[in-house]
Amino acid sequence: MTPGRVIVVGSGIVGASCAYELALRGWSVELIDRAAFGAGCSHGNCGYICPSHVYPLARPGAIAATLPLMFRPNSPFKVRIRPDLSLLAWFAKFSRCCDARKAEETSIALHALLVAAKVRYEEIMALEKIDCDYEARGCLFISMHEAHMSAFEADNRRMIDRFGYGARRLNGAELARMEPTLRDGLGGAWMFDCDSHLRSDRFMSGMKAVLTRRGVVIRENCEARALEGSGERAATLATSRGPLRADAFVFATGAWTPLLSELIGIRLPIVPGKGYSVTARRPAHCPAYPMVFDEHRVAITPFGTGYRIGSTMEFAGYDERLRPERIALLKDSAALYLRHSEPLADEEPWWGWRPMVPDGRPFIDFVPRFKNVMVAAGHSMIGMSTGPATGQLVAEMLGGEEPHLEPGWFRVGR
Ligand SMILES: Cc1cc2nc3c(=O)[nH]c(=O)nc-3n(C[C@H](O)[C@H](O)[C@H](O)COP(=O)(O)OP(=O)(O)OC[C@H]3O[C@@H](n4cnc5c(N)ncnc54)[C@H](O)[C@@H]3O)c2cc1C
């Protein structure tokens, strides 16, 4: 398709990246969002840009490892039981994906997407000079008990053999020397030198300014409600602020995508996986490295301009409540690993819905109903890390260019 007028729905990292890549290729882009720009899941996440995360959640043994967590009080993983057929169907699909061959296929697709996105981030940072605390420092995956670390040994070896990178193993003493803000006596860590991090809310506001400078029209508080067209082509998007006509449409609506099934003509297996974070002023003893506390599944990101603790996973449907006990859980879990217990200052608590897909691979494809409508959603736990490459793939597919990644990996009908 030759560049014309395109409407991108959803202004998270995925929609913003699509808008950016399309604008660079000469499309006239309008980006709409039902709320404020970048205020969905892309706002308060941990900001890891992490090629380390090549393995999906759905893997052999995942169910057995996760089930006991569901019943533990104060667990970072929660399913709020309620009659919800889509969640049951999602878990049934998830359990079918816990298969070694499928997980291996997914890791190949995710690796390609993650590495391409990291390269694109570096190009964007050099070109657009977005002020977002971007740093390539690596990331520590810390174990409280040394025995816990062995679980990753075989995966790490496989990762190095297949993808050419992996983690360095640090024992407790090496870890203590590297990150003196940690408590004594921790088991050790896997250090992924390949990872970077940024402050997602700052990156998103930087992107908003870049997009505006590049001619993208941004409409906030504008909800997509219906899509009309004739034959195989959509022509008009009905929105809460009136109809918008275009030659092409991209739905980058994250966890909300199933709510738009009627518009796009396909129901994708995406459910909201709610996570929390709390952002504060940098503490006096601020860690130097981003780090994940593996047994408690909590992550810390130190920024030049602040400090964030995040994580937890709650399958609670479209529940918009901010639960203070989940924020307390983040802080209490982090405190188990840190030497200094300083109260946080200027706290900003936050929650977001990860767009969770059973096999861990996003959907980046045309929808079956229309030849000029694409969906780019389902980036699960690594959307911040993979958004820029998704934007490139969408722009390539819409413009009929040779794609830089294998589109078959991300088909809606897989
Ligand atoms: C606690 C936490 C920590 C995380 N940490 C990381 C991390 O360190 N690294 C990483 O890579 N990922 C991380 N993630 C995951 C990452 O945040 C998500 O995968 C990513 O933000 C998804 O981006 P998105 O653009 O698809 O969705 P979103 O950012 O949610 O954007 C979707 C947008 O669509 C809009 N929308 C929905 N429906 C409509 C409609 N009808 N009309 C108009 N607009 C609509 C919404 O308002 C929203 O703005 C984390 C997530 C959480 C919760």
DSSP codes of every residue in 278-328: EEEPPPTT--SS-EEEGGGTEEEEEETTEEEEEEEEEE-SS-----HHHHH
Cβ atoms of 3 and 27 within 8 Å: the answer is yes
Question: Tokens 């070109």 identify what position?
Answer: 127
Q: Does the beta carbon of 46 sit less than 6 angstroms from any atom of ligand 1?
A: yes
- This prediction's pTM: 0.97
Compute the distance from residue 254 Cα to the ligand 1 centre, in Å: 5
Cβ atoms of 38 and 8 within 8 Å: the answer is no
Long-range CB contact pairs, 190-193, < 8 A, 24+ = 190/140, 190/141, 190/149, 190/152, 190/156, 191/138, 191/139, 191/140, 191/141, 191/167, 192/50, 192/51, 192/52, 192/138, 192/139, 192/140, 192/141, 192/166, 192/167, 193/138, 193/167, 193/168
Of ligand 1's listed atoms, the one at least distance from the Cα of 222 is: 43
To the nearest 5 percent, what fractions of the chain are helix, strand and coil? 35, 25, 40
Q: Does the beta carbon of 256 sit less than 6 angstroms from any atom of ligand 1?
A: yes
Edge to edge, the sheet with strand 363-366 lists: 217-219, 28-32, 5-9, 248-251, 373-377, 363-366
Q: Does the beta carbon of 252 sit less than 6 angstroms from any atom of ligand 1?
A: yes
Domains and CATH numbers, the chain: 5-138+194-410 (3.50.50.60)
Compute the distance from residue 25 Cα to the ligand 1 centre, in Å: 24
Compute the distance from residue 383 Cα to the ligand 1 centre, in Å: 7
* DSSP one-letter code for 215: T
Q: What is the pLDDT along the chain (414 residues), one digit of tens a residue?
A: 999 999 999 999 999 999 999 999 999 999 999 999 999 999 999 999 999 999 999 999 998 888 777 767 778 888 887 778 889 999 999 999 999 999 999 999 999 999 999 999 999 999 999 999 999 999 999 999 999 999 899 999 999 999 999 999 999 999 999 999 999 999 999 999 999 999 999 999 999 999 999 999 999 999 999 999 989 999 999 999 999 999 999 999 999 999 999 999 999 999 999 999 999 999 999 999 999 999 999 999 999 999 999 999 999 999 999 999 999 999 999 999 999 988 999 999 999 999 999 999 999 999 999 999 999 999 999 999 999 999 999 999 999 999 999 999 999 999
Alpha-carbon span 387 to 13, nearest angstrom: 6
Query: φ, ψ for residue 350 (rounded to 5)?
Result: -155, 150
Q: Among candidates 277, 295, 297, which has minimal Cα distance to 384?
A: 277
Alpha-carbon span 277 to 351, nearest angstrom: 6
Q: Does the beta carbon of 239 sit less than 6 angstroms from any atom of ligand 1?
A: no
Our CA angle for 116, 122, 123, nearest 5°, is 90
